[in-house]
A and B are shown apart, each in its own frame.
Chain A
Amino acid sequence: MDVVWEHREAIALAFAYTVLLFLIAGVGSTILGTLLAGMRVGPIPVLRWAGAGYVTLVRNTPLVIVIIFFRYAAPKIDLKFNFIDVVIPTGAGDIRLNNIFAACTVGLTMYTAAFVCEALRSGINAVPLGQAEAARAVGMPFGGVMRHVVLPQAFRASIPPLANVQIALIKNTTVAGALGVAEAFVRMRGLINIDATARIPIFIAFAAIFVVLVEIISFAAHRLERRVRVA
C-alpha cells in the first residue's frame, strides 16, 4: 500500500482527469442525446431519419473506434482541436485540457449521446399519448409540448436507465487512457510498472476509488428519483 500513498498526488491528478472526462462528456451527451431524442419522436421526417441514422451508426460502432477516429483519422482531414488549450494549475501538477483531451471528450460525448437518446426515448414512450394530445389541444407547438409536458415526465421515467448510461460512461473513460489522456487507468498501469511487487494493493486501491465514484453517481440518481417521484 506504501506505493499508493507515496504517489497519492499523481493518483489524485489522474482521477481528476477521469472525473473531468466524465463531467464534460456527461453534460455534453445529455444535451446532445436529448436533442436526438427530440428529433427521433418529432414530426419532421428528415430529422427523424437523421436521428435514427446517428443512433444506428454510433451505437453499432465500438467506443474505441469512435475515439480513434477523432484521435488519428480526423487530424488527417484537418479536423483538429488545437484551438483548445486550457491549463488548470493544481498543487500536484497541471491539468491540461488540450487537443488530445478534446478529441477523446468529443468521442465519448458522441458515443454516449446515442445511448442517452435511446434511454430517453423509452421514457418518452412511457408518457401516455393523451398527455401530448391534450397539450396539442390547448394549442402548444411541438417544442412547447416537449418542453413543458412530455420531457419532464419522460426524464422522470428514464432516470434509472440514464444513470446506467452515465455509470457506463465513467468506466468508459478508461478507453481514453489508451489514447492519450493520463487518466486513472494509465496511472494504475504506470504504478504497476514501477513496482510490480505491489500490483495487488495498487489494483485494489484503484478499483475501490472507481467503486466510490460509481456509488456517488448511483446515490445522486437515487436521490433525484425520490425527489421527482409523483407522490
Chain B
Amino acid sequence: MRRMKLGMTAVAVLLAGSLVACGEAGEDDDGGGGTGVEGAEPLTVEAESDCDGKFEEGSRMAELAEAGEIAIGNRVDQPGLGQQDTPDSVPEGFDIDMAKLLIADLCIDPESDAVNWTEAVSEQREQFLEDGTVDLVAASYSITDERRELVGQAGPYLLTGQQVLVPIDSEVESIADLEGEEVCAAEGSTSLENIELEGAVGVPAATYGQCAEDVVNGTVPAMSTDGSILRGLAQQYEGEVKVVGPEFSEERIGIGYSPDAPEMCEWINGVITEAYDSGDWEQAFQYHLGTEDEDAPEPPALDECQA
C-alpha cells in the first residue's frame, strides 16, 4: 500500500508539471473581450422568428429549420477565428460569427443547446460533411479545388495569409530568414506544407497553443500560420512574442456544406452577402481580427455557386 501511495504522489507531481504547461498555453487574460480592436462591440446575432415557407420544400435548409437543430464543425484552438474554452461553451471567433448568422437565418437560436458545436480538426472536415456528422463546417476552411471535388464550399468570406510569430527579441524579419530552421505549425495543416515550400523545416504540433509554448520557451525559433491566428496568440503571450513579416501565402476561407445538398450554396452566399451589406461582417471582423492601425478591409468577392 505504501508503495502505491508513493507512486501516486509521483504521478501527481508529474501531472502537475505538465498541466502547468497546458494551463499557460490556454490562458486568456483579456477578460472575455475580443481579440481585435480594443473596445469594439461583439456581434449579437438573433434568430429569425418566421421560417414557415421561407425555404423551398425538400431543401436541406427547410429540413434543418423544421428540425430546429444543427451541427457545426468548428476549430477550438484558433484565437480570433474559432476558440472554445470548454466543450460545453459556445465557441468564439470570426468563423463562429459567420456560422451564427447562418444558424440564425434558419430560425435557430445560435446561443442555445439546439446547436451542436463539434471540433473538426483539419483532416476530419471533409469526412464530417460527407457522413453527416456536421451540417456546416466553419473551421478556417480554406477553399481548394481538391476539396471541392469531395464537398461543397461556399465563400470566401475571409482572405488571410501566413505570417511568422517569433520571440520578442528575435532578429527574424520574415520567413526568408528562417530557411533551414525549425518552424512550428499544426500537423496536417496547409500552414505546415507552406513552411516546407519556403525552405524551412516544419515542426508538427497537435495545436497552435503548443507551438506558441515552444516559441516562448525557445524550443523552436518561430511558428507560422494565418496572421489572424498569430495576432490572437501574440495577445495571449503579450510582451513575449511578436508577429513579423509579409504574408507569404493566400488562403480563401469559406463555409463547407454537404456534397448532397448543393442548394445550400446559394443560401450561404445570400446570408454572407446580407452580412456584407448590413455591416455585421465588418463588426465581427473588427471585434475578432481588426487592428488599431488599419480599417477593416473590403469584404472579399464570393465565388459563383457551381450548378
16 more A-B contacts (CB under 8 A) besides A65-B18, A80-B219, A177-B204?
A: A49-B3, A56-B4, A57-B11, A61-B11, A61-B14, A69-B18, A73-B18, A98-B182, A100-B182, A182-B201, A189-B122, A190-B188, A190-B192, A196-B147, A196-B150, A197-B149
What is the predominant secondary structure among interface residues of chain A facing chain B? helix
Contacts A56-B3, A182-B203; A76 near B217 (Cβ below 8 A)? yes
Which residues of B line the A interface, CB within 8 A? 3-4, 6-7, 10-11, 14-15, 17-18, 20-22, 25, 122-123, 126, 146-147, 149-150, 182, 184, 187-190, 192-193, 201-206, 210, 213-214, 217-220
Q: Which of A57-73 contact B (CB under 8 A)?
A: 57, 60-61, 65-66, 68-69, 71-73
Asked whether, in the complex, the Cβ of B205 is within 8 Å of the Cβ of A179, the reply is yes
> For the complex, what is the distance from the CA of A194 to the CA of B201, rounded to whole Å?
18
Asked whether, in the complex, the Cβ of A53 is within 8 Å of the Cβ of B205, the reply is no
Instruction: Name the residue of chain B whose CB is nearest to the CB of A192.
Output: B123
A2 sits at the interface (CB 8 A): no
Q: Give 10 nearest A-B pairs by CB, closest first.
A: A189-B188, A56-B7, A72-B21, A73-B17, A75-B217, A178-B206, A186-B204, A57-B10, A196-B126, A192-B123
Asked whether, in the complex, the Cβ of A100 is within 8 Å of the Cβ of B146, the reply is no
Asked whether, in the complex, the Cβ of B204 is within 8 Å of the Cβ of A180, the reply is yes
* Total chain A interface residues with beta-carbon distance under 8 A: 40
User: Which residues of the partner chain A approach B126 to less than 8 Å between Cβ atoms?
Assistant: 196, 199
Query: Which of B6, B21, B122 has the most chain A CB atoms inside 10 A of its CB?
Result: B21
> For the complex, what is the distance from the CA of A182 to the CA of B200, rounded to whole Å?
13
A-B contact pairs, 15 of them (CB 8 A): A53-B7, A57-B14, A61-B15, A72-B217, A80-B218, A94-B201, A96-B182, A100-B219, A179-B210, A180-B219, A182-B202, A190-B187, A196-B126, A196-B150, A197-B149
Instruction: Name the residue of chain B whose CB is nearest to the CB of A87.
Output: B180
User: Which residues of the partner chain A approach B146 to less than 8 Å between Cβ atoms?
Assistant: 194-197
A99 sits at the interface (CB 8 A): yes
A52 sits at the interface (CB 8 A): yes
> For the complex, what is the distance from the CA of A103 to the CA of B206, rounded to whole Å?
16
Instruction: Name the residue of chain A whose CB is nearest to the CB of B9.
Output: A57
Asked whether, in the complex, the Cβ of A72 is within 8 Å of the Cβ of B3, the reply is no
Instruction: Name the residue of chain B whose CB is nearest to the CB of A57.
Output: B10
Asked whether, in the complex, the Cβ of A72 is within 8 Å of the Cβ of B210, the reply is yes
How many Å from the CB of A74 to the closest CB on chain B? 8
User: Which residues of the partner chain A approach B206 to less than 8 Å between Cβ atoms?
Assistant: 178-179
> For the complex, what is the distance from the CA of A94 to the CA of B196, rounded to whole Å?
12
What is the predominant secondary structure among interface residues of chain B facing chain A? helix
Asked whether, in the complex, the Cβ of B187 is within 8 Å of the Cβ of A178, the reply is yes
Contacts A193-B122, A194-B193; A186 near B188 (Cβ below 8 A)? yes
Q: Which of A53, A65, A72, A197 contacts B15 (CB 8 A)?
A: A65
> For the complex, what is the distance from the CA of A195 to the CA of B6, rounded to whole Å?
50
Instruction: Name the residue of chain B whose CB is nearest to the CB of A74.
Output: B17
How many Å from the CB of A94 to the closest CB on chain B? 8
How many Å from the CB of A179 to the closest CB on chain B? 7
Asked whether, in the complex, the Cβ of A177 is within 8 Å of the Cβ of B187, the reply is yes
Instruction: Name the residue of chain B whose CB is nearest to the CB of A94.
Output: B201
User: Which residues of the partner chain A approach B22 to less than 8 Å between Cβ atoms?
Assistant: 68, 72
How many Å from the CB of A55 to the closest CB on chain B? 9
How many Å from the CB of A192 to the closest CB on chain B? 5
> For the complex, what is the distance from the CA of A100 to the CA of B213, rounded to whole Å?
13
Asked whether, in the complex, the Cβ of A72 is within 8 Å of the Cβ of B18, the reply is yes
Query: Which of A52, A53, A61, A73 has the most chain B CB atoms inside 10 A of its CB?
Result: A73
How many Å from the CB of A4 to the closest CB on chain B? 15
How many Å from the CB of B41 to the closest CB on chain A? 36
Asked whether, in the complex, the Cβ of A193 is within 8 Å of the Cβ of B193, the reply is yes
User: Which residues of the partner chain B approach A73 to less than 8 Å between Cβ atoms?
Assistant: 17-18, 20-21
> For the complex, what is the distance from the CA of A66 to the CA of B220, rounded to whole Å?
20
Asked whether, in the complex, the Cβ of B188 is within 8 Å of the Cβ of A193, the reply is yes
> For the complex, what is the distance from the CA of A190 to the CA of B194, rounded to whole Å?
11
Q: Which of B11, B21, B149, B190 contacts A193 (CB 8 A)?
A: B190
User: Which residues of the partner chain A approach B205 to less than 8 Å between Cβ atoms?
Assistant: 178-180
Asked whether, in the complex, the Cβ of A53 is within 8 Å of the Cβ of B3, the reply is yes
User: Which residues of the partner chain B approach A190 to less than 8 Å between Cβ atoms?
Assistant: 187-188, 192-193
How many Å from the CB of B108 to the closest CB on chain A? 29
